[in-house]
Amino acid sequence: MLVMRPAQMADLSEVQRLAADSPVGVTSLPDDADRLRDKIAASDASLAAEVSFNGEESYFFVLEDSDSGHLLGCSGIVASAGYSEPFYSFRNETFVHNSRELKIHNKIHVLSLCHDLTGNSLLTSFYVERPLVGSVWSELNSRARLLFVANHPERFADAVVVEIVGHSDEHGDSPFWDAVGRNFFDMNYAEAERLCGLKSRTFLAELMPHYPIYVPLLPDAAQEAMGQVHPRAQVTFDILMREGFETDHYIDIFDGGPTLHARTSGIRSIAQSRVVPVRIGEPIKGGRPYLVSNGLLQDFRAIVADLDWVPGKPVTLSLEAAEALGVGEGASVRLVAV
Amino acid sequence: MIVRPVRTADLPALIDLARTTGAGLTTLPANEERLAHRVGWAEKTFTGKAERADADYLFVLENDAGQVVGISAVAGAVGLREPWYNYRVGLTVCASQELKIHRQIPTLFLANDLTGNSELCSLFLRSDHRTGLNGRLLSKARLLFIAEFRESFGDKVIAEMRGMSDEQGRSPFWESLGRHFFKMEFSQADYLTGVGNKAFIAELMPKFPLYTCFLSEDARNIIGRVHPDTEPALAMLKGEGFSYQGYVDIFDAGPAIEAETAKIRAVRDSQALVLAIGTPGDDATSFLIHNRKREDCRITVGAARLAAGTLVVDPLTAKRLQLSVGDQVRAVPLSARG
């Protein structure tokens, strides 16, 4: 059975294996043991801390095959984007340049470097092994976090954002980077992202000049790359769009990938999930798949289970599912349909 | 040849001239109504009925047969009625010692910095008269006039030099920048500013600073460069003390050169002298000579020599100036080297 749970220090080498395979641009998953160790330690500390409002915490979960002990995916949440260092985005703005006399009405798009998304909670570090892409397990890998947020709302902000990796070609070149960042850094995209992973994105963002950029002056390829999703990030993009995240307002300053945002309370897995009492028994065949999580912190668990659940009634879990979640008869779980 | 203030009677000749200027001379549009209006203002200006903000000293070059073969002008002040725009070519440095990055990015700042200065403008000489000293007389006569009526002009004098364009009149700078915002041909934008319709600039221009790395290479290369046809005019004004201080035209990026009025050679070195008529002799050099009149201003070039506080000229020169022996003149050697 595949179970989502908080990462532990013992997972480090497995996590690094996942990080090594994640696409360039997922800078929250650097292929770097020290950084990953810090990440797991921070998550551990955050889960252990008493928290009454979102601050410096971050949470990091892994998707484990409980039979083999192998990890198949991971995902994380940062409680407050830009808490310890500024969080940069390009805000996509529109200016109308209008001359009544000449009957010219131009909509001009401008990219403004901003810190608008500071303080929002940030979904990060999404990775699933390729065979799981498109399966219910990738839903679990992404949305278990959202159930965690639903169970611990005091730990998160009123809005959630996520940076989706943008378009880059098979050589690792990004047309957006080539048209924008490269002018200022004189290095290719892969090198820049590698530096971001090692030194932090802010380090580079602060070198980025701060005047807005007029989109019509960018080459067509760069304009087309704005808001475009890297093929390997499509899975997480699609999941989150179905969750009610919105796009178009912000893009990544390096690769032009979309930055999605949503009101926390409006996210589907949060708004539509229900907390229900558990019964242990034999689930009726022919149910539909649900994401099910216990409401715990350090012992947080989430799984996918086929259930025949009627709203307002307790849910019947198999013994195996209940054990995976660490819940017994009479406990409660949070669930939402996949 | 003499330079004198324009008169209403010159209008047909002016329209003929304007038709032959081509693109790039924004202050002499081939528009009858506008030209008539302009001549009207010039007449008011020379009779002292215009404020400096509106003053338009429009001169014509007239041959001894009484034909108008060129024009030149000085605006009392730019930008006091409608905003006057230039780009200031500044610099943005993007540097990190740690990353061994040091990038210098010329950056264009939309500025009204040249507001209030007097402006040399509208110089045009019929092609069949571009010989001998005609060009220098037509251009420098304005400087001598400024020297005589110093209080009517600003502390600085500027001149916008025509920028680079190809045989078809296409400006690489316009193609790379202005076209995106104005959605019209360079020649049309040029015409619109020439006829005094400047409001559209403020309405349509990008307002934020522009990193030149977002312009085409062709455009970047011609910032601050003059059209080859304008090289002689640039050299002449440089000889008078004008220099490029980093301001360029917002449409074609031609340089706006400037000089402190008091330090312009023809202003600084000019002297008030008494006219003597005789034989200038072998030591004679070309002098730019003004009859010290405003409404009845006449300025010419003639061989002359200084002798005990007098300027000795031949009878034809005196006739051109409509002066007699003992009359006051203001004079300066035509060129620095004498």
Residues A231, A316: one domain? no
Final residue before a domain boundary, out of A238, A269, A300: A269
Q: How far is A177 from chain B (nearest CA, A)?
A: 12
pLDDT tens, position by position, A24-50: 667 778 888 998 999 999 999 999 999
Tell me what pLDDT residue A13 has: 93
Tell me what pLDDT residue B24 has: 46
| Segment A275-286 mean pLDDT | 86
Spatial contact of A30 and A127, defined as CB atoms under 8 Å apart:
no
Residues A243, A287: one domain? no
Q: What are the b/e assignments for A166-184, b being 16+ CB within 10 Å?
A: bbbeeebebbbbbbbbbbb
β-bridge partners, B233: none
Residues A174, A242: one domain? yes
pLDDT of B219 above 70: yes
**pLDDT confidence of B337, banded at 50, 70, 90?**
low
ipTM of the complex model: 0.82
Tell me what pLDDT residue A100 has: 80
| Segment A248-266 mean pLDDT | 93
Final residue before a domain boundary, out of A239, A269, A299: A269
Tell me what pLDDT residue A262 has: 96
User: CATH number for the B269-333 domain, one of 2.60.40.1180, 3.50.30.30, 3.40.640.10, 2.40.40.20?
Assistant: 2.40.40.20
pLDDT of B139 above 90: yes
Tell me what pLDDT residue B26 has: 56
pLDDT of B192 above 50: yes
DSSP assignment letter at A100: T
Contact B204 A97 (CB under 8 A): yes
For an interface test with A, give the residue of B82, B200, B218 to mutate (most A CBs within 10 A): B200
Tell me what pLDDT residue B198 has: 65
Q: Which of B71-80, B196-205, B245-254, B272-281 shows the lowest per-residue confidence on average (mean pLDDT)?
A: B196-205
Q: Percent of chain B beyond pLDDT 70? A: 95
| Segment A15-26 mean pLDDT | 84
CATH number, position A55 = 3.40.630.30
Residues on chain A touching B200 (C-beta within 8 angstroms):
99, 101-102, 104
| Segment B230-245 mean pLDDT | 95
Strands A89-99 and A246-251: antiparallel
Residues A226, A122: one domain? yes
Distance between CA atoms of residues B88 and A94, nearest Å: 25
Contact A183 B182 (CB under 8 A): no
Residues A263, A217: one domain? yes
Residues A326, A283: one domain? yes
Residue in chain B lying closest to A95 (CA): B206
Distance between CA atoms of residues A193 and A75, nearest Å: 19
Tell me what pLDDT residue B289 has: 98
pLDDT of B17 above 50: yes
Residues A41, A133: one domain? yes
Q: How far is B72 from chain A (nearest CA, A)?
A: 30
Residue in chain B lying closest to A209 (CA): B94
Contact B215 A217 (CB under 8 A): yes
Which is higher by pLDDT, B203 or B87?
Answer: B87
Which residues contact residue A238 at a Cβ distance below 8 angstroms, ignoring those fewer than 6 apart? none
pLDDT of A166 above 80: yes
Distance between CA atoms of residues A4 and A11, nearest Å: 13
Which residue among A97, A184, A218 places its CB closest to the CB of B181?
A97
Which residue among A101, A187, A213 places its CB closest to the CB of B214?
A213
Residue in chain A lying closest to B105 (CA): A184
pLDDT tens, position by position, B70-107: 999 999 999 998 889 999 999 998 888 888 888 899 99
Residues on chain A touching B250 (C-beta within 8 angstroms):
none
Question: Number of A:B CB contacts under 8 A?
Answer: 83
Residues A245, A299: one domain? no
A249 is an active site residue:
no
Tell me what pLDDT residue B338 has: 44
pLDDT tens, position by position, B274-316: 999 999 888 899 999 999 999 999 999 999 999 888 999 999 9
Final residue before a domain boundary, out of A214, A241, A269: A269
Question: Nearest Cα to B124, choosing from B32, B258, B6?
Answer: B6
Residues A150, A166: one domain? yes
Tell me what pLDDT residue A99 has: 82
Contact B99 A213 (CB under 8 A): no
Give me B13's structure tokens: 């000749």
Spatial contact of B126 and B90, defined as CB atoms under 8 Å apart:
no
Interface residues of A toward B, Cβ cutoff 8 Å, are 95, 97-99, 101-102, 104, 106, 108, 110, 179, 183-187, 195, 207-209, 211-214, 216-218
Which residue has tokens 């404020």?
Answer: B51
| CA dihedral sign of residues B291, B292, B295, B299 | positive
Contact A186 B103 (CB under 8 A): yes
User: CATH number for the B2-84+113-265 domain, one of 3.20.20.120, 2.40.50.100, 3.30.10.20, 3.40.630.30?
Assistant: 3.40.630.30
Residues A238, A317: one domain? no
Contact A214 B208 (CB under 8 A): yes
Residue A80 placed within a domain: yes
- How confident is the prediction for chain A on average, in pLDDT? 91
Q: Could you give the residue range(s) of every CATH 3.40.630.30 domain in chain B?
A: 2-84+113-265
pTM equals: 0.86
Tell me what pLDDT residue A243 has: 96
CATH number, position A305 = 2.40.40.20
Residues A83, A148: one domain? yes
Interface residues of B toward A, Cβ cutoff 8 Å, are 92, 94-96, 99, 101, 103, 105, 107, 176-177, 180-184, 192, 197, 199-200, 203-211, 213-215
Give me B321's structure tokens: 């100036």
β-bridge partners, B331: B271, B289
Q: How far is B193 from chain A (nearest CA, A)?
A: 12
| Segment A328-337 mean pLDDT | 92
| Segment B51-66 mean pLDDT | 95
Tell me what pLDDT residue A199 has: 73
Q: Which of A61-65, B79-83, B135-139, B254-258 shows the lowest per-residue confidence on average (mean pLDDT)?
A: B79-83
Q: How far is B79 from chain A (nearest CA, A)?
A: 20
User: Structurally, how many domains does chain A consist of?
Assistant: 2
Q: Could you give the residue range(s) of every CATH 2.40.40.20 domain in chain B?
A: 269-333
DSSP assignment letter at A102: T
pLDDT tens, position by position, A105-129: 888 999 999 999 999 999 999 999 9
Tell me what pLDDT residue B28 has: 67
If DSSP codes are grouped into helix, strand and coil, which group holds residue A46?
A: helix
pLDDT of A93 above 80: yes
Residue in chain B lying closest to A105 (CA): B204
Which is higher by pLDDT, A104 or A87?
Answer: A87
Q: How far is CA B248 from the centre of its chain?
A: 14
Residues A206, A331: one domain? no
Which residue among B103, B204, B205 places its CB closest to the CB of A184?
B103
Which is higher by pLDDT, A136 or B188?
Answer: A136
Residues on chain B touching A218 (C-beta within 8 angstroms):
214
Contact B103 A185 (CB under 8 A): yes
Which residues contact residue B130 at a Cβ distance below 8 angstroms, ignoring those fewer than 6 apart? none
Residue A301 placed within a domain: yes
pLDDT tens, position by position, A195-235: 876 777 777 777 787 899 999 999 999 999 999 999 888 98
Q: Where are the beta strands (DSSP E) in A66-188?
A: 71-78, 89-99, 104-114, 121-128, 159-163
β-bridge partners, A291: A304, A336
Give the H or E element holding residue A317. strand A315-317
Q: Percent of chain B beyond pLDDT 90? A: 69
For an interface test with B, give the residue of A99, A111, A223, A253 to mutate (most B CBs within 10 A): A99
Structural domain of A199 = 2-90+114-269
Question: Nearest Cα to B25, choosing from B183, B165, B149, B152?
Answer: B165
Distance between CA atoms of residues B165 and A185, nearest Å: 32
Which is higher by pLDDT, A279 or A30?
Answer: A279
The 3 state secondary structure assigned to chain B is CEEEECCHHHHHHHHHHHHCCCCCCCCCCCCHHHHHHHHHHHHHHHCCCCCCCCCEEEEEEECCCCCEEEEEEEECCCCCCCCCCEEEEEEEEEEECCCCEEEEEEEEEEECCCCCCEEEEEEEECHHHCCCCHHHHHHHHHHHHHHHCHHHCCCEEEEECCECCCCCCCCHHHHHHHHHHHCCCHHHHHHHHHCCCCHHHHHHCCCCCEEHHHCCHHHHHCCCCECHHHHHHHHHHHHCCCEEEEEECCCCCCEEEEEEHHHCHHHHCCEEEEEEECCCCCCCEEEEEECCCCCCCCEEEEEEEEECCEEEECHHHHHHHCCCCCCEEEEEECCCCC
Phi, psi of A184 (to 5 degrees): -100, -20
Q: Percent of chain A beyond pLDDT 90? A: 68
Residues on chain A touching B213 (C-beta within 8 angstroms):
183-184
| Segment A148-165 mean pLDDT | 96
Residues on chain A touching B101 (C-beta within 8 angstroms):
185-187, 207
For A232, left (φ over 0), alpha (ψ -120 to 50), or beta?
alpha
Tell me what pLDDT residue B229 has: 86
pLDDT of B51 above 50: yes
Residue A279 placed within a domain: yes
Residues on chain B touching A188 (C-beta within 8 angstroms):
none
Given the residues B37, B102, B180, B227, the one annotated as active site: B227
Contact B99 A195 (CB under 8 A): yes
Distance between CA atoms of residues B97 and A220, nearest Å: 33
